Each structure stands twice: as C-alpha cells, then as structure tokens.
C-alpha cells in the first residue's frame, strides 16, 4: 500500500492546500448549536469535520480561531468557520485594526474593512 501524503495536496497553480480540523464544530462535523437537531451537520464543513485551507495560514484574528462570529450564532465571516485564514508570507499586521481583525469603526465587531478580518495585510 503506497503512503499518500496525508494533508498536502497541490493544485495546478501549485498552491498548497491543507486539511485542518473545522473550528466551528471542533472537528465533530455536527451543528455547533444543535438548533435543528443534534444530528444536524456542521454548516461550515458540511459534516466532514475538516476543511481545506490554502497554506500558509494563520489563526483567524476576527474570531480568534473559534470559527464563530464574535457576537452572532453564525460562522465567522472571515474564516467561514475554519478558524484559520490564508495569509501570504509577506503579509504584515493590519494597521487599521492593529491585527485584531475587528473593524475599529464597527460597534458589532464586523470584520476589518482593510484586511477582511484576518488581521494581516499584504499588498
Ligand atoms: Zn464543521
Ligand atoms: Zn474567523
Ligand atoms: Zn484589519
């Protein structure tokens, strides 16, 4: 039996995609809030318990890696429940939100308008 690389998959553009556990359901594949039924599938990962993210990636600043919006019972608008976001290697901490991912002008902690909520900015 050949040993396939477990997580790294290359696409035609040679981007590296890695499977990471879904933060929204903590890898269980079940709906985080069990609003409909305990058997409902996680809306972020579709029940797989993991999602693919392009590398390199970092913890999502907007939700601090939690996968849920800071105030709403929905997936984080920045990482879509993944808990991490793709950040280019040359990115610098976002000057608008100081790397927090939350827009300083927003009263309900919407994603930073400059970095999109990742907390990182690159040209
Ligand atoms: Zn999930
Ligand atoms: Zn997030
Ligand atoms: Zn920002």
Q: Which residue has the higher pLDDT, 10 or 64?
A: 64
Structure-token pair, residue 101: 């991912």
CA of 82 to the centre of ligand 1 (A): 8
Question: Which ligand gives the minimal distance to the CA of 116?
Answer: 3
Q: pLDDT tens digits, residue range 35-49?
A: 777 789 999 999 999
pLDDT at 78: 97
- Give the Å distance between the CA of 104 and the centre of ligand 3: 9
Burial class (CB in 10 A: 0-12, 13-18, 19+), 6: exposed
Q: Tell me which ligand sits closest to the C-alpha of residue 69.
A: 2
Q: CB–CB of 94/120 below 8 Å?
A: yes
| One-character DSSP codes across 79-119 | TTTSSEEE--TT-EE-TTTTTS-B-TT-TT-PBPTTTTTSS
100 C-alpha to ligand 1 centroid (Å): 23
Distance 46 CA to ligand 1 centre (A): 6
Q: pTM of the full predicted structure? A: 0.83
Question: Using one digit for the tens of pLDDT, what is the confidence trace for 50-104?
Answer: 999 999 999 999 999 999 998 888 999 999 999 999 999 999 999 999 999 999 9
């Amino acid at each position: 039996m050949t040993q396939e690389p477990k997580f790294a998959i290359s696409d035609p553009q040679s981007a590296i995609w890695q499977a990471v556990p879904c933060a929204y359901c903590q890898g269980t594949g079940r709906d985080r809030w069990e609003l409909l039924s305990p058997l409902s599938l996680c809306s972020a990962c579709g029940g797989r318990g993991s999602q693919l993210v392009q590398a390199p990636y970092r913890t999502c600043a907007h939700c601090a890696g939690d996968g849920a919006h800071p105030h709403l019972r929905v997936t984080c608008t920045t990482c879509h429940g993944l808990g991490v976001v793709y950040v280019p290697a040359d990115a610098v901490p976002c000057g608008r939100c100081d790397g927090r991912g939350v827009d300083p002008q927003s009263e309900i902690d919407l994603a930073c308008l400059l970095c999109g909520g990742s907390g990182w900015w690159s040209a």
